[in-house]
């Protein structure tokens, strides 16, 4: 419950740890809050989570996956995000 004060939107427990989801604007606040509580952070990263998804035909999905593969193969591209419903 204390994590809500730091901006936690969602907290889930998995076999390999606890995952905390927060908004982009609260990311730094959350990191600082966890450190103040003495909670060890194994990994912290920004990820774009879509609020709506787009349904595509199988042919369109194939094209988009091919484009994503080409983008991810480019050394200058760090991350690729999409809102395609698989």
pLDDT, tens digit (0-9, with 9 covering 90-100), for 19-40 = 999 999 999 999 999 999 898 8
Confidence category of residue 73, pLDDT binned at 50, 70, 90: very high
Percent of the chain with pLDDT over 70: 100
The rounded Cα 60 to chain-centroid distance in angstroms is 24
Indicate the pTM of the whole model. 0.62
Q: How many domains does the chain have?
A: 2
Answer yes or no: is 42 within a domain. Answer: no
Q: Are residues 32 and 64 in the same domain?
A: no
pLDDT for 86 beyond 80: no
Q: What is the pLDDT of residue 61?
A: 95
Answer yes or no: is 41 within a domain. Answer: no
How far is 33 from 20, CA to CA, in rounded Å?
A: 12
| Residue 62 domain boundaries | 50-86
């Amino acid at each position: 419950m204390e994590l809500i004060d730091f901006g936690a939107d969602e907290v889930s427990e998995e076999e390999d740890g606890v995952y905390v989801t927060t908004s982009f604007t609260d990311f730094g606040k959350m990191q600082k809050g966890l450190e103040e509580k003495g909670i060890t952070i194994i990994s912290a990263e920004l990820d774009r989570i879509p609020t709506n998804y787009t349904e595509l035909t199988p042919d369109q999905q194939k094209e988009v996956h091919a484009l994503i593969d080409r983008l991810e193969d480019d050394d200058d591209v760090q991350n690729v995000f999409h809102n395609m419903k698989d």
